[in-house]
Structure 1
Amino acid sequence: MPPPATRALLLLPPAPSPASYASLKAAYNPPLFTVLKNLSLSSTRPAVLDIALPVPALYGKLHAPRRTLYAATQQLVASVYKLICIAATRQAIDTEDAEGIDARVVLVAYPRNGPLTHVPADSSPELELQGPAIELHTLSRAPRPWHSIYSVESEEGERFLQTFLSLSGSPRNVSRVRGGIVHVGRSGPDTATAENAVNHASVAVGGTFDHLHIGHKLLLTMFAFVLGRRQPSEQTPSTLTVGITGDALLKNKKFAEHLESWKRRQEATHAFLSSIIYFGSSDDARVHVQEFTEPGPNGHAVHVSYPFGLTIKYVEIWDPFGPTITDKNITALALSLETRGGGAAVNDKRKEQGWAPLEVFEVDVLDASEEHGIDESFQSKLSSTEIRRRRGERLKPSAKA
């Protein structure tokens, strides 16, 4: 059995405004660089790093339809994951394998200035446990065994830390790291409108998800973000449907001998998704897992149900469409920009069936073209094919022995 992972939490200060890639790099590159380096040097065990990202634009809006919040949030999350990947590339830190550093971005609805405008009750409603965007009190009370907490040395960073500690109510081992430059300028007018926006209760995503990497994490995070929060009075459960390509369709992939099995890919995808979607106890007996094996397309699935009315369905898919053309209740689809054509094909199929089209939410494809000398190494961290190739290279000496 592998050794348990070292767990750490990095509390970033609120994002600069406007949140361009350049301003985010100036603000977040120093603490990300330092914490990733510290974790890589201080432990021989794998490490899980939760990165709390305060987003003022989400404060007081977690129950709003996500379309109005999506574009700015997606840009922010994509930039932070990109900075993580760049820092790991420059320091040759493993972020792709189980033995490396597993970084996960958690969105925190938090005001830029001043105290929180409402004080939570001692017991958080179940719905407040639903991520990937949560209130600070949910994060501070999450039953997660962080061995260390990192905070950023700045006025806003210290304010965020002190609010976190006051809500936590228990002693914490905190280390402070050097911060960057956080520029706050005048924000432009909020032109997004909630008019005609849908609070989606059933969202889908699809992929191979082999050797889960940072590109997958970005896609899965924004997929989960699209799902709206149910009102306490609503009885209809919410659903996240993850279509995962079946093994039989992957035989012609490059370095197919190093492909992970469907079961392993499903487990790895769930390990990540559950870490950003559920902030309750890891041994909560109310979380139920069921596996279904039925004949025909989409018949093999694993369903995980949570106490706040959410079910994640991991479905083995045999074609490019999966449940999006067999489940009429799905209303939204998250996909990467490079698979935009797949979204159009899905909606064409739904139109043929007389069904409403899915609202499509696009996720950036990460690149480091503006960074000098690392683009090829950066891209290798975001390619399952390249990860399989490297794994094969590492295994060659032992195969000869």
Structure 2
Amino acid sequence: MSSRPLTTALLLPPSPHTSIASTLTFWTAPLTSALARPLTLPTLLYIGVPAPFPTTPRRTTFAPAQRLLTGLYSLVYRLTPRPASAVPFDVRIVLLSPEDEAEASFGPVMSTDQLADLQEWDVLLVPRGEAGYQLQGAFLAATGSPGVHVYYVDAGVRAPAGEVDAELAGAAGEGEEHAVVAVGGTFDHLHLGHKLLLTMTAYLLTSPSAAPATNPRLIVGLTGPAMLRNKKHAEFMESWEERSTRSLEFLRGVVDVTPFESRAAEGTGRGEGGDGDEKKLLSEVPEFREEGKGAGASEERRNLHIEIVSISDPFGPTITDPTVTALVVTQETASGGAAVNAKRTEAVWPELEVAVVDLLIAHDGEKLSSTELRRQKAV
């Protein structure tokens, strides 16, 4: 019997609303219905959501994208029973782009066809009603997975008409994109908040085909031993190898749209190096374009480079690598962005664009954190 988890795709319908708050309300019923299903086997759940705004350029659409994904991950957090089930449950959220917008399909944004071939799927969940049936037809027509079982969840419930979000109205626009983006953290016991942060880091990165004469790079500064000495419940901390492997596997899971059959044959493109505080984990994600789509066939294809490096101070590669142009932080670590830019100013380097991601907060005001997860293991 296969040791892989039960792979499930949940497709949410396009929102009839022009505000993120109303869109989240519309999607609450199908999400609630899907997450209420009995969990008896280790499960990998992808949630595909059609963005109610353009997803390019990435810099100008980052704010609404992070609001939408924060809202969705928050809903998942609130709807998932706590303490966490003993059955492994891995949730990942990706944005779906229209089929005719091939240039928008990179990072955590993909077409329904690409999602349909991302995994060897066991289960497809769609909302009841015409919109759900259309999603079902498009997915099943594109997937190479044999014997997908289809189940229906509750349909979306329209919210009262709301105003158009100012962020959505101003989302489109021009602007130079980022080819090298960094994020830092411990990423211990990888949870929904970490997934949101990593997803938004990937979102801010330009596509390989649009990168200016280079391979785009996503750098994760992963805290090493020197930064972990005062962590609470440190005895339950995962090793650097465990944390880096899980972070890399998640990132590849939301940015590598190579069909699963081809990906299995090509391998992971992973390499390791260094020791002690110099540890690093490297991976290349090949740019995948369908025949006749995207950039011209004669153009050189570039790979996305994911670099997970051990850091011994709060700055890491942001003050040693002048090619980094953006840093993604949380509300809690936003002050670190100012400190990084102060150091870069001293070196006469351009300041980084600092992009802020919201925290995941439950109804009771509790913040999702690795410290709390370690505390639960300690009792």
1:323 maps to which of 317, 323, 341: 317
Structure 1's 87 and 349: CA in aligned 2 closer, same or farther, altered over 3 A? same
Aligned residues: CA RMSD: 2.7
Mapped partners of 2:170, 2:89: distance in 1: 38
> Is structure 2 residue 72 aligned with structure 1 residue 73?
no
Read off the aligned partner of 1:160 and give its amino acid letter: L
Partner residue of 2:84?
94
Mapped partners of 2:24, 2:178: distance in 1: 32
Mapped partners of 2:164, 2:211: distance in 1: 36
Mapped partners of 2:163, 2:205: distance in 1: 30
Q: Secondary structure of 2:328's partner?
A: strand
Structure 1's 117 and 216: CA in aligned 2 closer, same or farther, altered over 3 A? closer
> Is structure 2 residue 29 aligned with structure 1 residue 30?
yes
2:271 maps to which of 290, 315, 326: 290
The structural deviation recorded for 1:336 is 0.3
The structural deviation recorded for 1:375 is 3.7
Structure 1's 93 and 147: CA in aligned 2 closer, same or farther, altered over 3 A? farther
Mapped partners of 2:279, 2:184: distance in 1: 15
Mapped partners of 1:270, 1:224: distance in 2: 12
Mapped partners of 2:79, 2:243: distance in 1: 26
Mapped partners of 2:141, 2:36: distance in 1: 29
The structural deviation recorded for 1:263 is 0.7
Task: Answer yes or no: is the 8 Å Cα contact 2:179–2:211 preserved in 1.
Answer: no
Read off the aligned partner of 2:173 and give its amino acid letter: A
Mapped partners of 1:325, 1:238: distance in 2: 18
Partner residue of 2:96?
108
Partner residue of 1:146?
121
Task: Answer yes or no: is the 8 Å Cα contact 1:200–1:331 preserved in 2.
Answer: yes
TM-score, length-scaled by structure 2: 0.86
Mapped partners of 2:281, 2:371: distance in 1: 26
How many positions carry a matched residue from both structures? 357
> Is structure 2 residue 330 aligned with structure 1 residue 333?
no
Task: Answer yes or no: is the 8 Å Cα contact 2:73–2:192 preserved in 1.
Answer: yes
CA shift digits 1:339-366 (9 cap, x unpaired): 1100000011111111111111110012
Partner residue of 2:13?
13
Structure 1's 267 and 2: CA in aligned 2 closer, same or farther, altered over 3 A? farther
Structure 1 stretches of 5 or more lacking a match? Answer: 111-115, 121-126, 394-401
Structure 1's 226 and 283: CA in aligned 2 closer, same or farther, altered over 3 A? same
Read off the aligned partner of 1:221 and give its amino acid letter: T
Task: Answer yes or no: is the 8 Å Cα contact 1:55–1:109 preserved in 2.
Answer: yes
Q: Secondary structure of 2:266's partner?
A: coil
Mapped partners of 2:265, 2:3: distance in 1: 23
The structural deviation recorded for 1:233 is 8.8
The structural deviation recorded for 1:78 is 0.4
The structural deviation recorded for 1:150 is 0.2
CA shift digits 1:158-211 (9 cap, x unpaired): 33333333334776321111123134767467234534x221111000000011
Structure 1's 16 and 325: CA in aligned 2 closer, same or farther, altered over 3 A? farther
Where in structure 2 are the equivalents of 1:1-400 lying within 5 Å? 3-21=3-21, 23-40=22-39, 43=40, 45-58=41-54, 64-88=56-80, 91-92=81-82, 94=84, 99-110=87-98, 117=100, 130-142=106-118, 144-168=119-143, 172-183=148-159, 187=164, 190-192=169-171, 194-195=173-174, 197-231=175-209, 235-280=213-258, 281=260, 282-285=263-266, 287-293=268-274, 299-308=278-287, 309-368=303-362, 371=363, 374-376=364-366, 379=367, 382-393=368-379
